[in-house]
Amino acid sequence: MATSTTTTDNNDIDLSLLRDRLVSIALEAGRVITGATPSTSSTSTGTKKNTADLVTETDQAVEAFISSKLSTLYPTFSFLGEETYQPGMKLGREPTFVVDPIDGTTNFVHRWPYVSVSLGFAVDRIPTVGVVYNPFTRRLYSGVRGQGSFVADVPDSATVSNRQKLPLKPLEPLAGLASSLIAIEWGSDRSGPNWAVKCSTWARLGASKDEGGAMVHSARALGSAALNLCAVAEGSIDAYWEGGCWAWDVCAGWVVLTEAGGGIVVDGNPPSRSGNANAQPARQDGDDASAWRIPVDHRKYLAVKGATAGQREFVEEFWSYVQGEMVYEH
């Protein structure tokens, strides 16, 4: 990770050029990924903290490639990547690339084609540019703060075409949970209080009204935080609830979502249980304001699609079904 502490104003950075460079790097990285042949039994596949937290030689090689490219193009900017992260590293206020070389490693080793190169860029700890590329479906998402977000096809793994502004359907009022499709993930931590909160919350979201549940239409799991956020940005999924992922999992997708018709990312814990000491200033009034403007490295997220009305009511209804408090260090 670079150690630069220089603060650079967004006005000094050509964000459109930076986005275009990230797109080129993502496409190159995608060709490396699709050319690899991982498997669950391969000697090139290892684990981190447990057998569900996988890492491959391809993850490491792709991050090294991305880091090298970015350090050449932007030598004074910092870099925070999943594979080179060390405990104690923090996202600072200086311009920083926030990178997950393969978001969806478990999918990758099982050859389930929901894998992404997630390239985020933050300034003053605010997600500012995001590029998310799935090299298997050849679907490319990009966004720049204040400039909107887009999805495009990459028909030959090198050429971008059919660029469309997000969301893909007209905005409309957001109905309640009972009419929603929710993205949720198991994650790699499968024990302890956080796991219990997740399991009990999933049960309440899915249970019938007679059983005290929200009875959402259904739940989905793409296996990639970045792609889950992009699905919310498209409008095909209404919300995504997650605890335990990291800034590199969400930074790029965060930009894509928040630039897609007013999508939002708020605290995954209800305000009375959020313990959010690092929240940014809020738009909303009241004691729960910090829960509405969380930092990108908060590690507990509820992402909700853009809508003409009903976002706040949807979030508050969702919070009412969260069973306990998720606690993650960041």
The count of domains in the chain is: 2
What element of type H or E holds 196? helix 192-206
Residues 245 and 306 in one domain: yes
Closest CA to 141 of 124, 119, 113, 122: 119
In a domain, 326, yes or no: no
Residues 159 and 247 in one domain: no
CA 229/CA 26 separation, integer angstroms: 17
**Final residue before a domain boundary, out of 137, 165, 193:** 165
In a domain, 201, yes or no: yes
Residue 57 falls in the annotated catalytic set: no
Q: What is the domain extent for residue 64?
A: 15-38+51-165
Q: In 221-318, which ranges are E strands?
A: 239-243, 264-267, 300-304
In a domain, 251, yes or no: yes
Asked if 103 and 224 touch (Cβ cutoff 8 Å), the reply is: yes
Active-site pick, 33, 58, 63, 82: 82
- Kindly report the CATH number assigned to the domain that includes residue 160: 3.30.540.10
Residues 228 and 316 in one domain: yes
Residues 109 and 188 in one domain: no
Residues 204 and 146 in one domain: no
- Kindly report the CATH number assigned to the domain that includes residue 257: 3.40.190.80
The model carries a pTM of 0.90
Write the single-letter amino acid at 77.
F
Q: Which residues are annotated as a binding site for Mg(2+)?
A: 82, 100, 102-103, 249
Active-site pick, 56, 58, 96, 105: 105
In a domain, 44, yes or no: no
In a domain, 257, yes or no: yes
pLDDT in tens, the chain (330 residues): 343 444 456 779 999 999 999 999 999 999 999 999 776 555 455 555 555 445 688 999 999 999 999 999 999 999 999 999 999 999 999 999 999 999 999 999 999 999 999 999 999 999 999 999 999 999 999 999 999 999 999 999 889 999 999 999 999 999 999 999 999 999 888 899 999 999 999 999 999 999 999 999 999 999 999 999 999 999 999 999 999 999 999 999 999 999 999 999 999 999 975 544 444 433 444 546 789 999 999 999 999 999 999 999 999 999 999 999 999 987
Asked if 79 and 2 touch (Cβ cutoff 8 Å), the reply is: yes
105-143 burial: b if 16+ Cβ within 10 Å, else e: bbbbbeeeebbbbbbbbbbebbbbbbbbbbbbebbbbbb
In a domain, 113, yes or no: yes
Active-site pick, 63, 94, 100, 267: 100
pLDDT tens sequence across 184-223 = 999 888 899 999 999 999 999 999 999 999 999 999 999 9
pLDDT of residue 329: 87
Residue 249 falls in the annotated catalytic set: yes
Q: Which residues are annotated as a binding site?
A: 82, 100, 102-103, 249
pLDDT of residue 137: 97
pLDDT tens sequence across 43-97 = 455 555 555 445 688 999 999 999 999 999 999 999 999 999 999 999 999 999 9
Residues 234 and 264 in one domain: yes
Residue 102 falls in the annotated catalytic set: yes
pLDDT of residue 284: 44
Residues 85 and 157 in one domain: yes
Residues 115 and 256 in one domain: no
CA 34/CA 106 separation, integer angstroms: 15
Residues 64 and 140 in one domain: yes
Residues 316 and 197 in one domain: yes
Residues 110 and 242 in one domain: no
